[in-house]
A and B are shown apart, each in its own frame.
Chain A
Amino acid sequence: MCPLMEDSIIIEKFANEKTRNEAFNLLLKKYQQRIYWHVRRLVVDHDDADDLVQDIFVKVWRNLENFRADAQLYTWLYRIATNECITFLNKKKQHQHMSLDDDSSSYLAETLTTSHYFNGNQAELKLQQALLTLPEKQRLVFNMKYFEDLKYDEISEVLGTSVGALKASYHLAVKKIEQFFNNHD
């Protein structure tokens, strides 16, 4: 991930009103794409991701002053982004008249097929379809590990889940995806 030093400089600059704007510009340049892709992989649709990214950075702007330096900035950003996504997905479920207890992400399948901004090959499309059969937690862990290449420790810090549970989630996700690929040859 990002060097801790740079984050500390950003936070320090943000604390000073004179350099606050500069600090936020640095933060945007550094994290906007990472946060966007994290959100996009979860909500699938670009417009929804765009809305959420803007909401997330507004929250960051308003709360960065209260950020405690004992945590890493990127995990704090990821946590905000993840919470916003989960809230959004729960609302979407309610809109689809689905129970919040229903763990499946299948309600996003239509969004995937109608998305204008998908340019993957057949295998990548199949992988996304497989991911949408997973419970949200497993999808989240898989995305963070497979696409974002985060370490379990880092994911654990973001999600507040033990490393052991994350490994189990990832393993289950991989098995289910493998099964999906075998059944959809």
Chain B
Amino acid sequence: MSTMDNKSNYQDDLAGIKGMPQHPKDSPFIVPSNYFQDLEDKIMERIEVIDRSEKSLTVPPAYFDTLAQRIMERIDKEESVAVPIVRLSDDVDHPFLEKLKEVAPTSGFTVPDYYFEKLNTTLQQHLGTGQGNDVEEFQKIIPLNKRKSKFTSWLGYIAAACIAVSLGTYAFFQLQTPTMNSFEKELNAISDSEIVSYLEYYSEPGDGAIFEAQFEGEQGTDQSNFSKEDIEAYLDYSI
């Protein structure tokens, strides 16, 4: 390795410039060992190689004399077979369009009978322009029997109503059923004796009449099941 030759470097000149930072005398860059000694030999070898290759590769006689002409001929030939540049103008139509206009001159769409006559009347009537009115509020005429879009919007409302009813029904039963189930479960967990003792202890004087009225029907049906013997036995015991 060797450092850059600094014999004729610019550092001394730069040092004289006002405000210029003081650079180190030795450059930080280095080259491989003996690089400059071998450089001349490498260059000469390269020149010999180039000379030899130029002598071995030859071109036909007068090649360069006709090269330009041949290039121009090639360009002319390729341009003649190339896709023509599309002329985008009003005057020139695409060839396909000429054929298309022959077979498909219209869009093929039609309108209901007397549509435009009705449309004109409809617009005039509802804007008030046909009768000399100053009605500016416009109510758009939508034939119910033809309104596919309105029908689909009604379908939307119906679907929304169905969902609301379904959710309401589900919510109703969800609110009701768990209450009933939990009440029944709790009631089943209490023994009859506990209920009787509770009622005996907490019942008010008027409760008897309430219970009597509440279970009147049941008592009626039960009475029909009592035999004469049962009634006589009950009366013997009670009185």
Contact = CB atoms under 8 A, between A and B. Distances in A.
Interface in B71-122: 86, 88-90, 94, 96-97, 100-101, 103-112, 115-116, 119-120, 122
A55 interface: yes
A8 interface: no
A117 B111 contact: yes
A24 B127 contact: yes
B181 interface: no
A3 interface: no
Interface in B138-189: 138, 140-142, 146-149
Contact of B127 (A33, A61, A164): A61
B108 A28 contact: no
Contacts of B132: 21
Interface residues of B, number: 40
A117 B112 CA distance: 7
Contacts of A33: 116
Contacts of B112: 46, 117
A89 to B, nearest CB: 13
B9 interface: no
A34 B172 CA distance: 57
Contacts of A61: 127, 129, 136, 138
Interface of A: 20-21, 24-25, 28-29, 32-33, 36-37, 40-41, 44-48, 50-51, 53-55, 57-58, 61-62, 115, 117-121, 123-128, 143, 146-147, 151-152, 164, 167-168, 170-171, 174-175, 177-178, 181
26 contacts: A24-B124, A24-B129, A25-B124, A29-B120, A32-B120, A33-B116, A37-B109, A40-B107, A40-B109, A47-B148, A47-B149, A50-B115, A54-B122, A54-B123, A55-B140, A61-B138, A117-B110, A117-B112, A118-B110, A119-B108, A121-B108, A124-B105, A124-B107, A125-B108, A167-B88, A178-B96
